[in-house]
Amino acid sequence: MAVVTDDALASSPQEPDRFIIRLLFPMKNGFPKVPWLASSIAVGLVAILFGVYRWYQQNYSFTVGLDYFEPEFQTYWMNLFWFQMIVITAVGAIGVPWIWMTRPDEAEMTPERELGTYYLILTLMAFGSFLIVVILGLFAEADAAWHQVTIRDTDFTPTHIGLFYFAIPVLTVFVALTFVWIHTRMPDFKNRVSLSFAIVASAPILIMPNLGLNEWGHTFFYAEELFAAPIHYGFVVLGWGIFAISGFLLQCFNRIRILTLTLAEQEVVGATESKAA
C-alpha cells in the first residue's frame, strides 16, 4: 500500500486551499506532524484580542463603568455588550448549522489524514486550555475583585460584560463548533456521541442559567461578594465538567494508537515491496 505524501495531498483537487491545508495538516516524508505554526498563530491572535480587551477594562471601568445610569456607561459598555452578543450569537447560529449541513455522507479519511486530524484536535484542546487560563486568570478573578470593592447597580457590570458576555460565550461557541465538527467529520465518532465530550461541551452552556440565579441572589438577598458563597457553588460544579475531557482524550489516544500501527505496517509493506522490486 502506497504512502500518501504531503505533495500528493496538497495537489488533490478536493483541497481548494493548499496553504490552509498545509497549515492545519502539515506533513513530512508522508507522515503527519503536529500543527505548531497554526496553534502559535491562534494563541497569538487570542492573546492580542484578550490583551486589548483587558486594557479596555483597565482604562474605562473605573472612569465610566461605575454608574449604569450615566450616558457614558451606555456608550462605552452597553454598546460593547450588544456588539459582543450580536457577533458571538451570529457565529454560533451560522457556524453550527453550516458545519452540520456541509457534513460528508461518509466520514472517510486516509490513515495519514485521520492521524493528522487527531493532531489538530489535540492542538485545539491545548488552545482551549489557554482560553480557560485566560478566562479564569484575567476575567473571573477580576470579576470577583470588582464586586468586592464596588456597589453593583446592574447585572451588566464592566467585569460581567467581559466574563459572562464575552469570554465564556466565546469558549462556548468554540467548544460547540468543535463538537459538531468532530462528530460529523471523524470516522471514529460518526453515528455516535462521545459522552465525555458532550459533558465538556455542556459545562459552559449550563453555567449561563446559573449566572441568572447568581444575579438574582445577589440582587435580593446576598449582596456581599464572597468566593465561597453557596450561590457560587453552581459555577464550581459546572466548571468541573471540563474534567470530562480526560475521557475524550482516552478515546483519541486509542484511535491514534490504531492509526500509528496502521501507518507502521504500511511503511513495512512499502519497504518490503521496494526491496522485492
User: Per this entry, what is the length of the chain?
Assistant: 277
Distance CA 114, CA 123 (A): 14
Distance CA 240, CA 85 (A): 25
Over its length of 277 residues, how does the chain's per-residue pLDDT go in tens digits? Answer: 334 444 444 444 454 567 888 888 888 877 888 898 888 888 889 889 999 999 999 999 989 998 889 999 999 999 999 999 999 999 999 999 999 999 888 777 888 889 999 999 998 888 878 778 888 888 888 888 888 788 777 778 899 999 889 988 988 898 899 999 999 989 889 888 999 999 998 888 888 788 888 878 877 777 666 777 788 888 887 778 888 999 999 999 999 999 988 887 777 666 676 666 6
Residue 269: the pLDDT is 65
Give the count of alpha carbons within 13 A of 230, CB side only. Answer: 3
In a domain, 234, yes or no: yes
Residue type present at position 190: K
Nearest to 188 by CA among 258, 264, 255, 130: 255
- Coil, strand or helix: which one is 31? strand
- Coil, strand or helix: which one is 16? coil
Distance CA 113, CA 65 (A): 50
Nearest to 9 by CA among 159, 137, 17: 17
CB 157 within 8 A of CB 145: no
Residue 268: the pLDDT is 67
In a domain, 277, yes or no: no
Query: Considering its fold, how many domains does the chain have in total?
Result: 1
Q: Which three cell numbers stand for residue 143?
A: 470579576
Residue 43: the pLDDT is 86
Dihedral angle sign, alpha carbons of residues 150, 152, 158, 159:
positive
In a domain, 59, yes or no: yes
Residue 275: the pLDDT is 66
In a domain, 61, yes or no: yes
Cβ neighbors of 36 (< 8 A, separation 6 or more) are 123
Domain with residue 236: its CATH number is: 1.20.1050.50
What's the pTM? 0.82
Distance CA 40, CA 36 (A): 6
Residue 271: the pLDDT is 63
Which contacts qualify for 215-222: CB closer than 8 Å, 24 or more apart? 215/155, 218/147, 218/152, 219/155
Residue 7: the pLDDT is 44
In a domain, 142, yes or no: yes
In a domain, 1, yes or no: no
In a domain, 93, yes or no: yes
Domain that includes residue 52, residue range: 6-272
In a domain, 118, yes or no: yes
